[in-house]
A and B are shown apart, each in its own frame.
Chain A
Amino acid sequence: MTKQWMSERANASEPAPAERSAGAPASERAGRRAGTKPPASSLSRREFGSVAAAAAAGFLLTACGPRRLHDISKDRLRQAIKTWEREYTEKFGKAVTVSDAPPIPGVLFAYALDLSRCNGNRACVEACVAENNQSRDPQVQWIRVLSMDKDKGIDFSDADPYYAPQQVPEPGRFYVPTACQHCRNAPCTKVCPVGATWTEPDGIVVIDYDWCIGCRCCMAACPYGARHFNWATPSLPSDQVNTSMHYLGNRPRPRGVVEKCTWCIQRTRAGRYPACVEVCPTGARKFGNLLDPESEIRYILENKRVLLLKPELNTMPKFFYFYGT
């Protein structure tokens, strides 16, 4: 049994989201990928006129391709997931599962990072890349650890993301790991012209990789450098792929779209901790349900000295930094 954020909850009895029964007809998305048209078999011959009209309408919709994952029906999602699983399994030569786990009612995720514990070892960066199937070449990393001068405090204009000493921590330095702050008032989702990125009900800011047009407005809007663009076709060797995927998370990304931290949605919606939290050797990383008064997150917020990055921008991050000691 791996560590679970859920186990800390006062009433952890809430079941994991049950598998929904496989839906009926082909989704537009899956249909397009598989090269099939949605069946229109249930209509009788006498209704030929209306069949033609419906077919025309159906064709119009189908021809116009997929919908945003934000609007997709559950049935269609099931179908799309089957298609993805087949496609990825074929591509990587391993059984891939794509989860469609929905947000858990009553859960709003939040993250806390203990600046007094972080020693800049960057185990989180590696675990994140391995867990979330980021491109190995060119390298895409969702977590960026900044080395800063203790005399200056948090000062981005003096931060060094490329520190490479023999040993960490370096004398006189401290470390500020950054990633998506999952803002409640997210500037990135606001600017997207096609609505390809949004905040899920559990507070995770996600991207629909099949809907993103790659305009990079969100990257200009993000004050935390959290969004990364696939400038080239991502490379992901089969022996390194994480086969446990979520449709809004770590499934392979195409070239030319933006990606970012999803708080390991494939893990956290199944009750587990994000990979970075699990791997952190110093225990600096905390994660849990903001709505649960018994959670560690709530304890930290209520008892520790907490700070936000760039609070003056009113982005209202759900990613809190604190000094544990």
Chain B
Amino acid sequence: MANVQIFVQRFSAFVTGSWMLVRRGGRAYWAWLGLLALLIVSGAFAYAGQASRGLIVTAMRDQVSWAFYIGNFTFLVGVAAAAVILVIPAYVYQWKPIREIVIFGELLAVSAIVMCLLFVTVDIGHPERAWHLIPVLGHLNFPRSLLAWDVVVLNVYFLINFVVVTHILYRAFHGRPYEKRLVVPIVLFSIPMAVSIHTVTAFLYNGLAARPYWNSSILAPQFLASAFCSGPAILLFVLQILRRVTKFDIQDAAIRKIAELMAYTIFLNLFLHGAEAFKEYYSNSEHLLYTRYWFEGIRGHHTLVPYAWTAVGLNLLSFVLFIVPSARRNWVLLNIGCLATYVGVYIDKGMGLIIPGLTPDTLGEIYEYSPSITELRVAAGVFAIGFLVFTLMLKVAVPILLGEFQAPAAGSHARNLQLKTQNV
């Protein structure tokens, strides 16, 4: 009982401390939050319009019944993998430079999953019925429905990352090392979970025989490959910003290692894309139609073609920039490479996966989709919420991990003792 009381006291001190941290900040911090707030308000108004008039305010129709929202969802499931590409070197190979920064991957994963869940919420016709998914209260069609699987794995992945980062920060705040028996198993468990969220999301599309463009067994591996490109690309930006604006010591070696890993994943992603394109074009069956719609346009419909070739160009560019060691050691080129990777995968997974999967529709009709203003505003709002969550979590995490900010009760003896050694 006394233990519980102490825990409650300590945890509320942690929460109050976190609250103090997010309220303090320089001009750049508040300008950034202001920008995000603007985007969130704009998105909220756009969503209010959608909520009152229905999904008719989007450009989706019966022919293309999933589009920009679901594309963003799919992309962000990939981003959530960022953590795992750090977890593997850190915890499986015990590589110290990365071990110190794993937590940023986990924070990114938490923010990405928040965005994923929001994108699904804004996409469905009756978000207020979401409780129908809860077993017993509602009816979760598990294991038959892959969306049911996705609900399960996304929430579990969110939960384990959230628990781990909260635990680590809470302990660091009180000047105590984290509980290894808790953290290590959960972090190791997060590896198969990260693979699961991608695989299950891929299977969501993959299992639909009605859509030949998705009904290819290369889809899940390709999801994983592209996820391991885009997630680390964002992380590399974040890590560079962090070491510029905070005292956090992120070693060049860590960044170089991530860039090196990306060279392999970008190659793999391109290879799988190439394998798919070869199979479609060489066999030249009626299923080629969808791939052709993406790359060439069919029957005078060319809306997506510029997206397709932009993505191809960016993916090739990022491959060159990452595979050449001297290029990826050059900071400017590295950042160009990261941007190219991020945008290339975003187009590929957002527009390139969903829209050609549904165009032409199952009865051969071509409805040319391109997102409405409402969809763009809502999506920007969701991204802003994700960035806000990520920013605030970093605002709390960095000073605590640096030992600059601790519970008053923690005592000076604990302070120096663990922060340098237990930075994760």
Residues of chain A having any CB pair with chain B under 8 Å: 64-65, 68, 71, 138, 144, 146, 155-159, 161, 178, 187, 190-196, 211-217, 219-225, 227-233, 255-257, 313-314
Contacts and interface: CB of A to CB of B under 8 A. Distances in A.
B313 interface: no
B375 interface: no
A159 B120 CA distance: 33
B243 interface: no
Given A187-B209, A219-B65, A229-B55, 18 more contacts: A65-B131, A144-B363, A155-B364, A156-B362, A159-B363, A159-B364, A187-B210, A191-B144, A194-B141, A213-B129, A214-B129, A215-B125, A215-B147, A216-B65, A223-B210, A231-B56, A233-B53, A256-B125
B264 interface: no
B132 A211 contact: yes
B56 A195 contact: no
Contacts of B210: 187, 220-223, 313
Contacts of B151: 193
B65 A190 contact: no
A64 B139 contact: no
B76 interface: no
B116 to A, nearest CB: 14
18 contacts: A146-B364, A157-B286, A187-B208, A187-B210, A194-B138, A195-B141, A196-B132, A220-B66, A220-B205, A220-B211, A221-B208, A223-B210, A223-B362, A225-B365, A231-B58, A232-B55, A257-B126, A314-B209
Nearest 8 Cβ contacts at the A-B interface: A214-B125, A256-B125, A223-B210, A156-B364, A232-B56, A193-B147, A231-B56, A194-B132
Contact of A212 (B62, B126, B364): B126
B250 interface: no
Nearest to A61: B137
B363 A191 contact: no
Contacts, number: 146
A219 B211 CA distance: 11
**Most chain A beta carbons < 10 A, residue from B54, B63, B131:** B54
Interface in B77-135: 120, 123-127, 129-133
A52 B98 CA distance: 56
Contacts of A231: 54-56, 58, 60-61
Given A194-B133, A213-B125, A223 B209 contact: yes
Using C-beta atoms within 8 Å of the partner chain, give the interface range for chain B: 35 or more
A140 B87 CA distance: 50
A231 B138 CA distance: 24
A214 B62 CA distance: 12
B422 interface: no
A193 B140 contact: yes
A138 B139 CA distance: 31
Given A156-B363, A159-B364, A195-B141, A216 B133 contact: no
A256 to B, nearest CB: 3
Interface in B236-292: 286, 289
A220 B211 CA distance: 8
A260 B126 CA distance: 18
B137 A232 contact: no
A231 B65 CA distance: 10
Interface string B129-168: 1111100011111001111100100000000000000000
A138 B57 CA distance: 12
Interface string B345-368: 000000000000110111111000
A187 B208 CA distance: 8
A229 B126 CA distance: 12
A216 B145 CA distance: 12
**Most chain A beta carbons < 10 A, residue from B53, B132, B144:** B132
